[in-house]
Structure 1
Amino acid sequence: MRTPFARFTPKTRFAAVTVATVLSLSPLAACGGGSSGSGDAKSLTMWTFKQSHVAALKNAAAQFKKQTGITVTVQAYGPDDAYTTKVQAAAKTHDLPDVLEVHSDGEDFALGATGIARDLAKDVGADWSGLYQKGVQTSGTVTPAHYKESIPSDSKSHGVKEGQRFSVPLTSGTFGIVMGNKKMLAAAGITKPPASYEEFLTDLKATTGKDPKNGGVSLGLKVKATGLTWGLQPLAFGELGKEKYQALWGQDASADFASPDGQKVLGLYSQMQPYWMPGTQTLDIDAADQAFAQGKSAWDIGGTFTLAFLQQNGMNPEDVMAFGFPGPQGGAVPKPALAPLALTGLTVSATSSHPENAEKWMKFLAQPAVASQFAKDATEVPSTELGADAASVMGATLADMTKAFEGSPENTYDPNVNDFRPPGYDQDSMAEILADLTPLKQKSPEATGKALAKLNNNFWATANK
């Protein structure tokens, strides 16, 4: 799995907890350990779990060396599990690199809590953070909300302090992005993105009618939280608007998932049922994206980060139509925007022999000219604010994806905002229930709503004890 859903992704949580558990037992966490990274003042090492970033980072490193004389050696270890294992082993032997690419606002906190990541709070000033998009300028910082989440002793970030900063953003984006194969869509008479959820359903009917086997939509529903976070939640926000959307997770029975509002949303989402790619419930995220790249589905639901993976698997980005998950035409927010969030960030290992040079490298990557080239090389949205040049820099398809970011606070679905959900909320168990509605078609919207409301009430009851 290549990317998180948000800060509460199952994979991020698993990886972070695993790292935290192992590292908390290491002498490095207990007493600071010795130096690691490169011993040469004119060289640095950097690790990443994103193979698609390697060429882009190496190109940037060549320019960095020209400017500073400092060599950066970039190494990739993937997939995520292999990267986690590598970090675990290196922590035990005090052989960590100078810089680590991490999942933002989760994995970085776990590494900071165990003494692996250096606190950057005093080093990242306004001149540095101001280079980033407004929505991600403070990514990697322990906010009051993050600190509250860290208080339980079993929290992956237990031990961090409010105001500490353990990473700066490298890539940004969002999920809830729908992609269509232009050639397959054109064969069904579709030449432009749907203006509403209803039009999207009509388009799905057209492509599956044209090609019953390969005309459906793929989504990695083996990881059931994708259906909840990438599909239902943006759809629910569009139908209900911000306040009523948040009320689905509240304590008022007249507004939760069993209420008329909840039933309306679940009914809308269940209309996807006839159009799932056959077997999509058995596919993880990578496999679902690969199916789309191979022409086994006409549509794919993912995020801005998906395009690079599709390209790696032989699909030309210019053959992809992309747009944000559309809202219902009669909904409270018929044209919802999707807020960007930091996806990956950069952290300095606490044992780096040359933290100043490591930070110099990280700040170099945030420069607009460098970030622009990174975007071209990696087919990813950089966290740096590129302004009016973004479309020409990133290419038409990726630029189309970022158009989903454009909106006001009231009409923007923001996956970063979670304070309306009960403490101890577990999206995975909620997603298990939702999967019984679709794609498994084992429960009705009414039964699904009651089950979701019951579980959500259990979370609140536990929190209120």
Structure 2
Amino acid sequence: MRIPVARKARLLAAAVATALSLTSLTACGGSSGSGDSKSLEMWTFKQSHVGALRAAAKEFEKETGISVTVEAYTPDDAYTTKIQSAAKTGDLPDLLEVHSDGGDRVLGAAGILSDISSDFKGEWSDRIQPAVQDSGLVTDLIYQNSLNKESKEKGIENGARYSVPLTIGTFGIVYANKKMLADAGITKAPANWAEFLDALKATKAQDPKNGGLSLGLKVQATGLTWVLQPLAFAQLGQQDYEKLWGKDGATDFGSPNGVKVLSMYDQITPYWMPGTQTLTIDQADQAFAQGKAAFAVGGTFTLAFLKQNGVNPDDVLAFGLPAPADGAVPDRGLGPLALTGVSVTSTSEQPDNAKKWMEFLSQQDVATQFAKDSLDLPATELGADSDKVLGPTLSAMVDSFEGTPETTYDPSRGDEFRPIGYEQDDAGTILADLTPLNESSPEQTGQKLSDLIQSYWKAAGQ
């Protein structure tokens, strides 16, 4: 997963009109059985998953006699185009890896994906970590929101399931170059926000050119969703944090609470890597891999990309974005969410075999090997010894999940307290004027965000 959630839906939204115009799409789908063929085709947008999936496919064929061909199409825009073209020509594969809780529903609404709600149950569903078991499911709340005029998911069916979680993770994971830390006299991860700022100051002083913080701020929402939001939750607590997006202008971003968290976020301004506002997420991660920054902010999914770019996972220190020591939630955890899922296309002639493959991927031993091969966290519960299985860097990221329901920032929440139609990229654009551009004050930024959010509430008629 290389882009934030809101943009994923926009990239796929065009597929809705395309697929719905193909009136024969569902009608010409495969049979309800496994078909005569013993070969499945699966597409993914995750290059880092290809090797792991192909290795699993070899074991699956040994066990079942069913082969699985796995192909990647990247980046996300190219993947979306590939799906659209295949939908037009009737050449969709049997399975798609999809962005969870957004991309899957858009494709489901378009008729491209099958509803597998009747199959995902019992031992299969029990293997999946409880926090993400409902990922891919159209709950009543999601369905009701899809009926709103601002929704991009019109056409989804209440109770349908369009994907099963494959990988999980979270945003707000900080990666640090161990050597650059050591050169600055730092030997452990910062325990709180103040120590994080001190570490940034120290690495910047040691290496003014390369000692800063990298983040792909050309993608407008990254600073908002990967840094400001978990920081604001830790400072304010869940109730006051959610009020920042509420209808009451006295408690939104224009309020004293809003200005306070914006001022804290602004403390990073001196430490951004030069030019970070012009970089995509991949480019910012590549800059960190090349030693152009001491720190990078990403997600659990970033580690695999760093390895692809020559970084030894043992040479980086990974930790959850530190919380302020004097905040409402100083011991804040980062809640896991489903990142990618696997779906059966509506045109597959082997839906039963496709579901067998999906269930095979959820088995603990298969998921464990997938994690080792891909450096991504599987949705399957790996058990108490997962730290021995995953190694120190991945295990450190799992540790960032630790927290009670009250102390855990859940990045999947939003429909409950934000207005329908809210676009985080719009908010991120405003935030960029504060930092890194330094063209707006916290007070001015807070008022602009307040005006934006109130306009969403009005447009949605809520």
Write the mapping of 1:95-110 to structure 2, written as runs, cut at 5 A: 95-110=91-106
Deviation per residue, 1:111-131 (Å, 9 max, x gap): 111211110011111321111
Task: Write the letter of the residue equivalent to 2:27.
Answer: G
- 2:56 match: 60
Q: 1:450 aligns with which of 433, 447, 452?
A: 447
Q: 2:457 aligns with which of 434, 447, 460?
A: 460
- 2:132 match: 136
Deviation per residue, 1:160-211 (Å, 9 max, x gap): 1110001000000000111101011111011111010000000000000000
SS at match of 2:43: strand
Give the C-alpha shift of residue 28 in structure 1.
Answer: 3.7
Task: Write the letter of the residue equivalent to 2:2.
Answer: T
- 1:310 match: 306
- 1:375 match: 371
Give the C-alpha shift of residue 286 in structure 1.
Answer: 0.2
Q: 1:9 aligns with which of 6, 27, 34?
A: 6
Contact in 2 for aligned 1:4/1:103 (Cα 8 Å): no
Deviation per residue, 1:191-237 (Å, 9 max, x gap): 11101000000000000000011000000000110000001000000
Cα distance in 1 for partners of 2:35, 2:10 equals 32
The TM-score, its normalising length taken from structure 1, stands at 0.96
Q: 2:18 aligns with which of 14, 18, 22?
A: 22
Write the mapping of 1:192-207 to structure 2, written as runs, cut at 5 A: 192-207=188-203
Give the C-alpha shift of residue 4 in structure 1.
Answer: 4.1
- 1:93 match: 89
Write the mapping of 1:275-286 to structure 2, written as runs, cut at 5 A: 275-286=271-282
- 1:409 match: 405
Q: 1:272 aligns with which of 263, 268, 275?
A: 268
Higher RCO (CA 8 Å, separation ≥ 6 residues): 2
**1:428 paired to 2:425:** yes
**1:324 paired to 2:320:** yes
Moved more, 19-28 or 331-340: 19-28
**1:32 paired to 2:10:** no
Write the mapping of 1:333-348 to structure 2, written as runs, cut at 5 A: 333-348=329-344
> Where does structure 2 lack aligned partners over 5 or more consecutive residues?
none
Contact in 1 for aligned 2:150/2:420 (Cα 8 Å): no
Cα distance in 2 for partners of 1:255, 1:42 equals 59
Give the C-alpha shift of residue 153 in structure 1.
Answer: 5.2
Cα distance in 2 for partners of 1:3, 1:285 equals 7
Tell me the matched-pair count. 460
Task: Write the letter of the residue equivalent to 1:436.
Answer: D
Cα distance in 1 for partners of 2:393, 2:448 equals 39
**1:73 paired to 2:69:** yes
Cα distance in 2 for partners of 1:464, 1:73 equals 47
Cα distance in 2 for partners of 1:154, 1:449 equals 24
Shift of the 195–57 alpha-carbon distance from structure 1 to 2, 3 Å rule, reads same
SS at match of 1:446: helix
SS at match of 1:222: coil
Cα distance in 2 for partners of 1:153, 1:425 equals 13
Contact in 1 for aligned 2:9/2:106 (Cα 8 Å): no
Contact in 1 for aligned 2:334/2:400 (Cα 8 Å): yes
Task: Provide runs of 4+ in structure 1 moved above 4 Å.
Answer: none
SS at match of 2:93: coil
Contact in 1 for aligned 2:43/2:71 (Cα 8 Å): yes
Task: Write the letter of the residue equivalent to 2:124.
Answer: W
Contact in 2 for aligned 1:4/1:343 (Cα 8 Å): no
Task: Write the letter of the residue equivalent to 1:462.
Answer: A
Cα distance in 1 for partners of 2:419, 2:47 equals 36
Contact in 2 for aligned 1:28/1:91 (Cα 8 Å): no
Cα distance in 1 for partners of 2:39, 2:376 equals 26
SS at match of 2:250: coil
Write the mapping of 1:202-221 to structure 2, written as runs, cut at 5 A: 202-221=198-217
Aligned-residue CA RMSD in angstroms?
Answer: 1.6
Task: Write the letter of the residue equivalent to 1:192.
Answer: K
Task: Write the letter of the residue equivalent to 1:401.
Answer: M
Contact in 1 for aligned 2:149/2:460 (Cα 8 Å): no
Give the C-alpha shift of residue 21 in structure 1.
Answer: 2.3
Give the C-alpha shift of residue 34 in structure 1.
Answer: 4.4
Deviation per residue, 1:338-384 (Å, 9 max, x gap): 11000000000111111001000000000000000000000000000
- 2:157 match: 161
Give the C-alpha shift of residue 104 in structure 1.
Answer: 0.6
- 1:384 match: 380
Identity %: 59
